[in-house]
Structure 1
Amino acid sequence: MNRILVIDDDTELCELLSDYLGGEGFLVETVNHGTEGATQALEQEYTLVVLDVMLPGMSGFDVLRRIRETSKVPVIMLTARGDDVDRIVGLELGADDYLPKPFNPRELIARIRAVQRRMDTSDSGTRKSDDGELRVGDIVLCPTNRSVKRDGTTVELTSVEFTLLTVLLKQAGNVISREELVEKALGRRLSAYDRSIDVHVSALRKKLGKEYAGEERIKTIRGIGYLYTRAEA
């Protein structure tokens, strides 16, 4: 069952989302307090968490930090419209996507479906692929158990970071446009002023190391997109 946890202190919005998402086939549970939300997100199984930034008891950022300590459950953050700082911070802490308030519930449904398509495509591809592990330089990505190792050491990635790295490794040595990365890694179209894919790439650089064998690991191709280098030690 598609079980979603909404953590937001706006009770009217929680009721609206419960009704709307419920009508789309989701089982929705709501929590109006940050600390309680973090506890519930970790103690129970959810398909996805919708998390507001401004919460009593514990901020949405602190809730996300606690969740990411032990869980890879997809998280969509709700941020104040126009507050780019909140969006960037949320993505850097491991959020899969964000949605600025106020928003149309249909847009939230679209974001949730996009996350589900990305996960379903990844799982389906894993079952059908005969390629096995992806090895590029010092990185080994295993689709079967969704693990990534650098020089034999496990690197913890969020679900969207894992999908993004898979796309980059499969096309290592080739330039990939930001539009293609957004569609394949986030499951939606690139919109104007959307810098989320850039933040996810930045997070990958930090976790994998910015350089390998004297070359930049993930190169920015100005005005186009990114390229994962095929440099060999």
Structure 2
Amino acid sequence: MTSAAMPAAPVVVVIEDDPETASLITLLLEECGFTVHTAANGEAGVAAAREHRPVLVTMDLGLPGMDGFEATRRIRQFSDAYILVISGANTEPDLIMAFGAGADDYLTKPFRPRVLQARIQSVQRRPRRGPGGAAGAARPVLERQGLVMDPWARIVSADGAEVTLTPTEFDLLRLLLEGGRRVRGRAQLALLLAGHSLRGGGAVSSIDDKTIDVYICNLRRKLGDRLEGRRWIQTLRGAGYRLAPVP
């Protein structure tokens, strides 16, 4: 009898120039069931992401040669992998630049191993683009005033023009579209993005909470949702976000 082939382990590319940190991240990832490829600089990291097609990339920012911001931008041009920045840089401009380049999450050094593993496990709970679905399966499309999302194909268009989003930006916009006029607080959105239920709860760091605002800012910029003519995302000061009312 021929045994069934085991499914291939998901792949992660670790881009880190410090050998000890790279070894620690690799060990933690392998404990989570990943196959890991490492790169010690930005150029090699971009090449590894192109070759191995990972589901997740961990990215240091202070890399020799091409820095982590530029490496993130280049990987985002061809990959929908989740990009987790792991860096000693923790200023607000660093976070804004990283998310603007296409990062999905940010963890500062030194980090606790269990926190990194929790972030990794949350990534595994997020949906990814698939090659197809079950025959005859329904593919509901979400629409709102010229904004159209196909959740299965992970495609978004605004007024007929396709909009390129990072995986986290896409997931956040999906939560807002599905919620309609229901207000979602920043902590609620951070929990949902991490794959937790609101009823079951879960830990949300201050960075998770604060960076929801950065994600929303990026979404508005990419969608062309300007203050003077906001059509899609409404801010309720002190409460959170929801879809704007239909005029």
Q: How does 1:206-225 map to 2 (within 5 A)?
A: 206-211=221-226, 214-225=229-240
Question: CA 1:192/1:141 → structure 2, altered by over 3 Å: closer, same or farther?
Answer: same
Instruction: Give the superposed CA RMSD.
Output: 2.4
Question: CA 1:104/1:215 → structure 2, altered by over 3 Å: closer, same or farther?
Answer: closer
Question: CA 1:57/1:99 → structure 2, altered by over 3 Å: closer, same or farther?
Answer: same
* Bigger Cα displacement from structure 2, 35-44 vs 61-70: 35-44
Secondary structure at the aligned position of 1:111 is classed as helix
Amino acid at match of 1:230: P
2:170 aligned with 1:145: no
Q: Distance in 2 between matches of 1:102 and 1:203?
A: 27
Q: Distance in 1 between matches of 2:144 and 2:244?
A: 9
Report how far residue 20 of structure 1 moved. 2.8
2:152 aligned with 1:105: no
Amino acid at match of 1:170: E
Q: Which runs of 5+ in 1 are unaligned?
A: none
Amino acid at match of 1:116: Q
Find the partner of 2:100 among 92, 101, 115: 92
Report how far residue 159 of structure 1 moved. 0.9
2:43 aligned with 1:35: yes
Report how far residue 31 of structure 1 moved. 0.8
Report how far residue 22 of structure 1 moved. 1.7
**TM superposition score normalised by structure 1:** 0.89
Amino acid at match of 1:201: I
Q: Distance in 2 between matches of 1:101 and 1:213?
A: 40
What is the aligned-residue identity percentage?
A: 38
Q: Which runs of 5+ in 2 are unaligned?
A: 1-8, 197-202
- Tell me the equivalent position of 2:30: 22
- Tell me the equivalent position of 1:169: 177
Q: Distance in 2 between matches of 1:15 and 1:190?
A: 27
* Bigger Cα displacement from structure 2, 131-140 vs 80-89: 80-89
Q: Distance in 2 between matches of 1:91 and 1:155?
A: 16
Report how far residue 35 of structure 1 moved. 1.0
**2:83–2:105 Cα contact (<8 Å) kept:** yes
Secondary structure at the aligned position of 2:125 is classed as helix
**1:81–1:102 Cα contact (<8 Å) kept:** no
Q: Distance in 1 between matches of 2:62 and 2:51?
A: 22
Report how far residue 135 of structure 1 moved. 0.7
2:213 aligned with 1:198: yes
Q: Distance in 2 between matches of 1:93 and 1:53?
A: 11
Question: CA 1:35/1:229 → structure 2, altered by over 3 Å: closer, same or farther?
Answer: same
Q: Distance in 1 between matches of 2:18 and 2:76?
A: 24
Report how far residue 34 of structure 1 moved. 1.3
**TM superposition score normalised by structure 2:** 0.84
2:81 aligned with 1:73: yes
Amino acid at match of 1:178: R
Amino acid at match of 1:200: Y
Report how far residue 69 of structure 1 moved. 1.4
Higher helix share: 1
Q: Distance in 2 between matches of 1:21 and 1:44?
A: 16
**1:4–1:29 Cα contact (<8 Å) kept:** yes
- Tell me the equivalent position of 2:4: none
| CA deviation profile, 1:197-216 (whole Å, cap 9, x unmatched) | 11111110001112499445
